[in-house]
Amino acid sequence: MATKVVRDEKSGAEVVYGAEMCYKKSLELLEEMGLPNGLLPLKNLEESGYVRETGFVWLKQKKPVEYYNKKIKRIVVYGTEVTAYVEKHKMKKMTGVKSKELFMWIHLTEMSIGDASSQKIYFKSSFGVGKSFPLKAFELDDDKE
């Protein structure tokens, strides 16, 4: 009989607590991965963690947050726990993020930036369908945020 070893996804993580520190760390991570700073507009986080070795990241908050991105005219809901595996210009295996398209909520599972010249970010749903938007639509305006 073979023994199966299960590794905890959060093993070896750098974990921070408190809204201010978690928000700061999420911005630093987005910058390090070359992703726009407005992808995770979550200012009331309780806990966040990042496992550099595997790229696993999680963000926890008390209640879901509904965010309206005026630049793309879309509502995005971030659940009580958002998780993903991050790498340069990409988040994959995402959980806890959904967007409203027409009358349906679509769970987002991946986001990526193509080559730097495209200036587009591509979002993929759990159905495998995707949509792209201008990168600058996900940049925070310092004077407004």
What does the pLDDT read at residue 143? 42
What does the pLDDT read at residue 141? 74
Query: Exposure string (b/e) for 69-97, b if CB count within 10 Å is 16 or more?
Result: eeeeebebebbeebbbbbeeebbeebebb
Tokens of 54: 């595997």
Q: Give the start-to-end residue ranges of the domains of the chain.
A: 14-138
pTM score: 0.85
What does the pLDDT read at residue 101? 82
What does the pLDDT read at residue 144? 47
What does the pLDDT read at residue 114? 79
Give the span between the Cα atoms of 31 and 23, in whole angstroms. Answer: 12
The CATH number, out of the four listed (3.40.50, 2.30.240, 2.60.40, 2.40.30), of the domain defined by the range 14-138: 2.30.240
What does the pLDDT read at residue 6? 46
What does the pLDDT read at residue 3? 54
What does the pLDDT read at residue 7? 57
From first to last of the 145 residues of the chain, give the pLDDT tens digit. Answer: 555 544 577 888 899 999 999 999 999 999 999 999 999 999 999 999 999 999 999 999 999 999 999 999 999 999 999 999 999 999 999 999 999 887 889 999 999 997 767 789 999 998 888 899 999 999 987 544 4
What does the pLDDT read at residue 113? 92
What does the pLDDT read at residue 55? 95
Give the span between the Cα atoms of 95 and 110, in whole angstroms. Answer: 9
What does the pLDDT read at residue 127? 84
DSSP 54: T
